[in-house]
């Protein structure tokens, strides 16, 4: 972890708060207004809890009287919840040849539709062997056919391009 990230995650509590005055919210969630740091610490001690700097960039900083352990637990819970709700998009790859048979093509299209419905991107890789590379228009026709067949559930993310002996194209699902 870098120093900049470390200080951003660091939460000032009790005597570590550097401000002379703070806007205080007590344990009952009542706004006590702007008070000196000594007075805020005394109030926190009175409740038997910690004084936690909630919003350090505010002027004056906002502090709250809370149990520090409980506060950290709640923050960790929020972070985990946000992480859980993220959707990781994977790129699934389907490899083809320019001389693909009809049934094999249909199976690949079925797989591609399944991947797209799951919200994943699909990368089509057309491999050329030997002299097939000189007649790469067969590969272009198949790639164009793929785009037409999957038009209802996918959009082209990156156009087909030839790199060495492979032609690649990426499709992403429609929202």
pLDDT tens track for 140-175: 899 999 999 999 888 998 898 989 889 999 999 987
pTM: 0.53
Indicate the helix (H) or strand (E) that contains 174. Answer: none
pLDDT digits (tens, 9 = 90+) for 18-42: 888 888 888 888 888 888 888 888 8
Q: φ and ψ at 9, to 5 degrees?
A: -80, -20
CATH 3.10.20.80 domain extents, the chain: 3-83
> pLDDT at position 9, please?
59
Answer with the residue of higher pLDDT: 7 or 127.
127
Q: Indicate the CATH number for domain 3-83.
A: 3.10.20.80
Helix axes 137-149, 102-117, angle to 10 degrees: 50
State the chain's mean pLDDT as an integer. 85
Q: Which of 59-68, 79-88, 134-143 has the lowest mean pLDDT?
A: 79-88
Q: Which strands, in side-by-side order, build the sheet including 91-96?
A: 91-96, 121-127, 166-173, 154-163
Q: What is the pLDDT of residue 12?
A: 81
* 4 pLDDT more than 60: no
Positive or negative, the CA dihedral 29, 34, 38, 42 is negative
DSSP string, 24-52: EE-TTS-EEEEEEHHHHHHHHHHHTSEEE
With the C-alpha atoms ordered 68, 70, 72, 75, is the resulting torsion angle positive or negative? negative
Distance CA 170, CA 95 (A): 12
CB 5 within 8 A of CB 27: no
CATH fourth-level superfamily of 91-173: Translation initiation factor 3 (IF-3), C-terminal domain (3.30.110.10)
Q: In this predicted model, what pLDDT tens digit does every residue of 96-119 receive, in sequence order?
A: 998 899 999 999 999 999 999 988
In the chain, CATH 3.30.110.10 sits at 91-173
């Amino acid at each position: 972890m870098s120093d900049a990230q470390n200080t951003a995650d660091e939460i000032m509590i009790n005597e570590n708060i550097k401000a002379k005055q703070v806007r205080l919210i007590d344990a009952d969630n009542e706004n006590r207004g702007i008070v000196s740091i000594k007075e805020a610490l005394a109030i926190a001690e009175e409740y038997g809890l910690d004084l936690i700097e909630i919003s350090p960039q505010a002027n004056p900083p906002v502090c709250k009287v809370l149990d520090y352990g409980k506060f950290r637990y709640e923050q960790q819970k929020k972070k985990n919840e946000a992480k859980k709700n993220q959707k990781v998009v994977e790129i699934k790859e389907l490899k083809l040849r320019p001389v693909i048979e009809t049934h094999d093509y249909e199976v690949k299209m079925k797989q591609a539709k399944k991947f797209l419905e799951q919200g994943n991107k699909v990368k089509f890789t057309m491999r050329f062997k030997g002299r097939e590379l000189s007649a790469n228009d067969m590969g272009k026709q198949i790639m164009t056919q793929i785009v037409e067949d999957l038009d209802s559930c996918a959009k082209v993310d990156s156009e087909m391009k030839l790199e060495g002996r492979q032609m690649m194209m990426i499709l992403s699902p429609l929202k």
